């Protein structure tokens, strides 16, 4: 039986944080251990350029994200782990796909629509102000990512479902015109994946500037945990777990029995300071070994690069011949063999 292709990309614009880890990276690494699965995980650095025009930041983020996945034990003998920009067939496919993509479909993409709405709310006279073609065509590049490797399943957050639906549309249209070349991908949204709240109690996200980086030094990490906002209930006063940032994070790291115990501690009025200690210990115990590997990798970037090159070579064994097939299918080929 051929393996199921599970593919997902990570945009290289920031430093991986606890939310990324519990919500996406940890489940993806778990999934990669399944023998029936062939994972394709990649650094979406071309996607990064859409919203980030700081070269140093894109570079640094690519390095940090790659080091994070490797430090956390991604098995690169099974998983194909690569950098999008090392696969020149992806932007090539993106162009061919964009020629079968209705502009109207892209008009409906919510990331684009949100930017237009913002401009309209601001009352200016250009609804497309500050919007580049990268943002407008973002779903086509994402479709190329998925279709290139015949992804069956694409694990993503809810905000990305629409992009996968668009990829399905684009693939179906291409197949209709040129024959069955593409596999139709399917979005998988893990309802159990933890959504972690940030320092201020909103969803942890680099756009809110409320993140706890995954691999801070232990000291800084502890400091950040201590900064998580709580209410002002005193020690001894009963506390509720629902909506509590500390509890939510704890739940993403602890076993069920431990969670039940903490629930009781809340009812018994655990002090916030004490809960922060418990939380720090719980997370630290899980990530400390990986933190060491992370820093060792960051000190040996050539090792990371080597892994990415290996991944790219594996990916191109697929993308080069497949791109040739696609070119021929649309009528782009040598005149004589």
Near ligand TRP by CB under 6 A: residue from 48, 80, 140, 154: 154
Which are the contacts of 121, defined by CB distance < 8 A and separation ≥ 6?
A: none
DSSP string, 178-234: H-S--PPPEEE--TTSPPPB-TTSSBP-GGGT---BTT--HHHHHHHHHHS----PP
Q: What is d(CA 135, CA 168) in angstroms, rounded to the nearest whole number? A: 19
Q: What is d(CA 140, CA 96) in angstroms, rounded to the nearest whole number? A: 10
Near ligand TRP by CB under 6 A: residue from 50, 146, 262, 290: 146
Near ligand TRP by CB under 6 A: residue from 98, 160, 210, 319: 160
Total residues binding ligand TRP (CB under 6 A): 12
Q: What is d(CA 266, CA 247) in angstroms, rounded to the nearest whole number? A: 9
Q: What is d(CA 39, CA 20) in angstroms, rounded to the nearest whole number? A: 18
Output 98 or 160, the one with its CB closest to ligand TRP.
Answer: 160
Residue nearest to ligand TRP (CB): 9
Minimum CB separation of residue 9 from ligand TRP in Å reads 3
Report the sign of the C-alpha dihedral through residues 291, 292, 298, 300, in that order: negative
Using rule CB under 6 A, residue 148 touches ligand TRP: no
Q: What is d(CA 140, CA 165) in angstroms, rounded to the nearest whole number? A: 11
With contacts defined by CB under 6 A, name the span among 140-148, 275-283, 304-312, 321-329 that binds ligand TRP.
140-148
Give kind and range of the element (H or E) at residue 249: helix 245-253
Backbone angles phi, psi at 153, to 5 degrees: -130, 140
Contact criterion met (CB below 8 Å) for 115 and 132: no
Using rule CB under 6 A, residue 210 touches ligand TRP: no
Minimum CB separation of residue 113 from ligand TRP in Å reads 16
Near ligand TRP by CB under 6 A: residue from 66, 71, 80, 156: 156
Output 114 or 240, the one with its CB closest to ligand TRP.
Answer: 114
Output 9 or 311, the one with its CB closest to ligand TRP.
Answer: 9
- Per-residue mark of binding to ligand TRP, 11-40 (x: CB under 6 A): x-----------------------------
Output 86 or 145, the one with its CB closest to ligand TRP.
Answer: 145
Which three-class secondary structure state does DSSP give residue 251? Answer: helix
Near ligand TRP by CB under 6 A: residue from 74, 142, 287, 326: 142
Using rule CB under 6 A, residue 196 touches ligand TRP: no
DSSP string, 25-93: IHHHHHHTT-TTEEEEEEEEHHHHHHH---HHHHHHHHHHHHHHHHHTT--TTTSEEEEGGG-THHHHH
Using rule CB under 6 A, residue 145 touches ligand TRP: yes
Minimum CB separation of residue 155 from ligand TRP in Å reads 8
Minimum CB separation of residue 102 from ligand TRP in Å reads 20
With contacts defined by CB under 6 A, name the span among 8-16, 71-79, 197-205, 242-250 that binds ligand TRP.
8-16
Minimum CB separation of residue 146 from ligand TRP in Å reads 5
With contacts defined by CB under 6 A, name the span among 1-9, 57-65, 278-286, 320-328 that binds ligand TRP.
1-9
Cα angle 62, 7, 194 (rounded to 5 degrees) comes to: 80
**145 closest CA partner among 297, 8, 244, 25:** 8
**16 closest CA partner among 47, 50, 55, 60:** 60
In the region spanning residues 67 to 106, those forming contacts with ligand TRP, defined by CB under 6 A, are: none
Using rule CB under 6 A, residue 115 touches ligand TRP: no
Would you tell me which residues interact with ligand TRP (CB under 6 A)? Answer: 7-9, 11, 44, 47, 142, 145-146, 154, 156, 160
């Amino acid at each position: 039986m051929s393996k199921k292709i599970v593919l997902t990309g990570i945009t290289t614009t920031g430093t991986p944080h606890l939310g990324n880890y519990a919500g996406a990276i940890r489940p993806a690494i778990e999934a990669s251990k399944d023998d029936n699965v062939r994972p394709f995980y990649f650094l979406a650095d071309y996607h990064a350029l859409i919203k980030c025009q700081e070269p140093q930041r894109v570079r640094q983020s690519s390095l940090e994200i790659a080091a994070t996945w490797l430090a956390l034990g991604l098995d690169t003998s099974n998983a194909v782990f690569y950098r999008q920009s090392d696969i020149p067939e992806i932007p090539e496919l993106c162009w061919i796909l964009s020629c079968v993509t209705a502009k109207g479909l892209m008009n409906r993409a919510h990331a684009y629509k949100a930017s237009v709405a913002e401009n309209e709310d601001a009352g200016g006279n250009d609804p497309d102000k500050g919007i580049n073609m990268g943002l407008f065509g973002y779903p086509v590049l994402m479709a190329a990512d998925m279709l290139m490797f015949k992804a069956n399943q694409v694990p993503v957050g809810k905000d990305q479902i629409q992009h996968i639906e668009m990829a399905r549309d684009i693939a179906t249209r291409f197949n209709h015109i040129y024959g069955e070349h593409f596999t139709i991908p399917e979005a998988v949204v893990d309802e159990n994946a933890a959504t972690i709240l940030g320092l201020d109690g909103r969803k942890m996200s680099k756009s809110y500037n409320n993140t706890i980086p995954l691999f801070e030094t232990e000291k800084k990490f502890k400091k950040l945990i201590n900064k998580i906002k709580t209410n002002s209930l005193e020690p001894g006063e009963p506390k509720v777990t629902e909506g509590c940032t500390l509890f939510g994070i704890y739940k993403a790291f602890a076993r069920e029995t431990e969670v039940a115990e903490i629930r009781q501690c809340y009812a018994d009025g655990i002090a916030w300071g004490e809960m922060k200690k418990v939380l720090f210990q719980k997370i630290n115990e899980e990530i400390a070994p990986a933190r060491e590997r992370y820093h060792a990798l960051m000190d040996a970037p050539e090792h990371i690069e080597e892994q990415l090159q290996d991944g790219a070579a594996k990916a191109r064994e697929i993308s080069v011949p497949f791109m040739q097939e696609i070119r021929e299918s649309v009528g782009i080929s040598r005149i004589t063999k």
